[in-house]
Amino acid sequence: MHTPNLSSPAHRLAQLRAAMREQGVDAVIIPSADPHLSEYLPAHWQGREWVSGFTGSVGTLIVTQEEAGVWTDGRYWEQAETELAGSDIVLKKIPSGASVLYLDWLGQTMQPGQVVAVDGAVLGLANARLLRQALGSQVTLRTDIDLLDLVWAERPAKPVAAVFEHGAPYPALPRSDKLAALRAAMAAHGASHHVISTLDDIAWLFNLRGADVHYNPVFVSHALVGPQRATLFVADGKVAPELHATLEAHGVDVAPYERFTSALAALPADASLLLDPRRLTHGTREAVPGVVRVIEAINPTTLAKSRKSDSEAAHVRAVMEQDGAALCEFFSWLDATLADPQRAPLTELGVDTQLTACRARRANFVSPSFGTIAGYNAHGAIMHYHAQAGSEATIEGDGLLLIDSGGQYLGGTTDITRVVPVGQLTAAHKRDFTLVLRSMIALSRAQFPRTVKSPMLDAIARAPLWAEGIDFGHGTGHGVGFFLNVHEGPQSISQSTMPEPHTAMEPGMITSIEPGIYRPGQWGIRIENLVLNVPAASTQFGEFLKFETLTLCPIDTRCVERALLRDDEAAWLNDYHATVRARLEPHLDGAALAWLQERTEAI
């Protein structure tokens, strides 16, 4: 007798479809989301991955009785094709800038009288509005049911890690000052209350951190800020009594996580509530009484936390020295390992293990800031590749190894990509590498008006590649938090981001610059540094900003074709390497110091 594989996507799809029939549902949407619209999800809300087997951090699963598909963008196409193979779930490719393409499919597929279900607790409010518009008036949208609860028998519990204080000397302002500034922003909007569900906004506002989400030091919670006091809704037991008392003394009450929606429902009729429709779920909005006046605008904390103070920038610079020293130790080890003919085989997973160990030896290291991407040759062409046991590549022969990694430290968050040669490189390898380097240098050297919309800077990085008929399928840069999320808004250097007012570049913002070239089946190249917006000039045409490069790690000149670099570009690289050497030498000795000195020689 054949025993069904209870852990297979086919079995889980069958369970889900049976539950759909019982509930009278014709289609179910399972987004990559939690009640806080997080990028990295606690296991309790990883339903899309549980059903489909697709592990990418971005994607939407839609299941009908006849079809099942995962919609995701170009960063994950190769990964999705591999992970969905044989599952009867098809990959639906989303072109750059069309993240809600699945809505069009639903609008065309669903028939009058049919029912679409999605858990309103994890459906973004802005997306809910687009969904209703796409479905029209003749298709029913149910947001009052979580079908996963009916079929996911061993669904993980919600996280229970403790909340801790991110105290002196790191935060620039005490929580009382941050709350006062927030209330001033609320008053400017005419709001008496403000609701926040995004975890990094909450962690920043209250100077607290946690460990509920892989890689991001945040904790599952909601916050409601009133005229005199604020309430933090968090699971019982996560806030220790001493911290609980400190928060209360600072005007912050702690309440059970489950009481959040009832607190919203109890808002007085004369309240005016500020909320951000892009950072709040449909279910949260539904809990607000109809008599309460609602004001929609970006969370003031999103703007405030993006602008690092001078003291925070100083902490980040110190962290970059520690992180850079760890990377020198790692790359020194890597070169020695690859040069040893007697060595045991080195795999992509071994790279990740050693790199994390080097960072862990550094002061105030907490965790990686995301899952390390170590992709050799063809795997490097998969933009968000993650090595898996059994399918990881062995690093041998000739080619390019791409390593994208980062660390969370008490004094800041890092994110860096470097590419190193293995064996002999071809002229094509060096040409691609040098073109990516030219792209990175072009944007790193840019000067631009303060408040220019960040997406408008994207073309500066792409221009050297466009001139050669080459492009890449991801944004050029993302904001980075201060011991917070490695992906942070509101700025985004990306052609797929709308240049709205809140995307303006301001002093103190930290952003990545990471152009790339990806040749499927051959190799991938990405070079990434983090940069800080700093004042450049004040003229009759206004204030101008420039970038201070924060990341400190050599760019491997063995991959550079010098003839393809202009002299001014080579000078930028030599100046950068001189800075890297001067800043990192005091933190190194032995083989790592020798490696640094060799890799920072002028070209």
SS3 string, 355-399, reads HHHHHHCCCCEEEECCCCEEEEHHHHHCCCCCCCCCCCCECCCCE
Q: Say what the pLDDT of residue 390 is.
A: 85
Cα 386-355-603 angle, rounded to 5 deg: 100
* Dist. CA 491–CA 174, nearest whole Å: 25
Give the domain extent around 180: 164-305
Q: Indicate whether 158 belongs to any domain.
A: no
Q: Say what the pLDDT of residue 74 is.
A: 78
Of the candidates 419, 423, 422, 452, the one whose C-alpha atom is nearest the C-alpha of residue 434 is: 419
Name the domain boundary from 288, 305, 322: 305
Which structure tokens are listed for 14? 């069958």
Span 196-221, pLDDT tens digits: 999 999 999 999 999 999 899 999 99
177 and 122 in one domain? no
Q: Indicate whether 157 belongs to any domain.
A: no
236 and 221 in one domain? yes
Which structure tokens are listed for 163? 């909340």
DSSP code string of 317-341: HHHHHHHHHHHHHHHHHHHHHHH-T
Q: Indicate whether 83 belongs to any domain.
A: yes
pLDDT band at 58 (very low <50, low <70, confident <90, very high): confident
Rg of the chain over Cα atoms, rounded to whole angstroms, equals 25
246 and 220 in one domain? yes
Q: Indicate whether 103 belongs to any domain.
A: yes
Q: Residue 117 — φ and ψ, nearest 5°?
A: -120, 140
315 and 194 in one domain? no
Q: What is the DSSP code (8-state) at residue 125?
A: H
DSSP code string of 239-277: S-HHHHHHHHHTTEEEE-GGGHHHHHHT--TT-EEEE-T
Name the domain boundary from 253, 279, 305: 305
263 and 316 in one domain? no
Buried b (16+ CB within 10 A) or exposed e, 19-32: bbeeeebbbbbbbb
What sections of 93-215 are H helices per DSSP? Answer: 101-109, 125-135, 148-151, 175-189, 199-206
* CATH number of the domain to which 48 belongs: 3.40.350.10
Q: Which residues pair with 196 in a beta bridge?
A: 223
pLDDT band at 99 (very low <50, low <70, confident <90, very high): low
Q: What is the DSSP code (8-state) at residue 434?
A: H
pLDDT band at 387 (very low <50, low <70, confident <90, very high): confident
Write down the residue that tokens 């003291």 correspond to. 311
Beta-carbon contacts of residue 423 (< 8 Å; ≥ 6 apart) = 396, 397, 398, 399
Q: Say what the pLDDT of residue 2 is.
A: 38
The distance of Cα 255 from the centroid of its chain, to the nearest Å, equals 29
The SS3 of residue 563 is: helix
Write down the residue that tokens 């009594």 correspond to. 241
Span 517-526, pLDDT tens digits: 999 999 999 9
Do 296 and 276 touch, CB atoms closer than 8 A? yes
522 and 377 in one domain? yes
Q: Say what the pLDDT of residue 98 is.
A: 54
Q: Say what the pLDDT of residue 3 is.
A: 40
Name the domain boundary from 305, 330, 348: 305
Q: Say what the pLDDT of residue 385 is.
A: 85
111 and 181 in one domain? no
The SS3 of residue 508 is: coil
* Dist. CA 230–CA 173, nearest whole Å: 17
Q: Say what the pLDDT of residue 8 is.
A: 83
181 and 89 in one domain? no
Task: Average the pLDDT over 72-95 and give the result.
Answer: 87
326 and 297 in one domain? no
The fraction of the chain above a pLDDT of 70, given in percent, is: 98
Q: Residue 215 — φ and ψ, nearest 5°?
A: 80, -30
* Dist. CA 503–CA 303, nearest whole Å: 9
The percent helix, strand, coil of the chain (3-state, each to 5) is 40, 20, 40
363 and 288 in one domain? no
331 and 290 in one domain? no
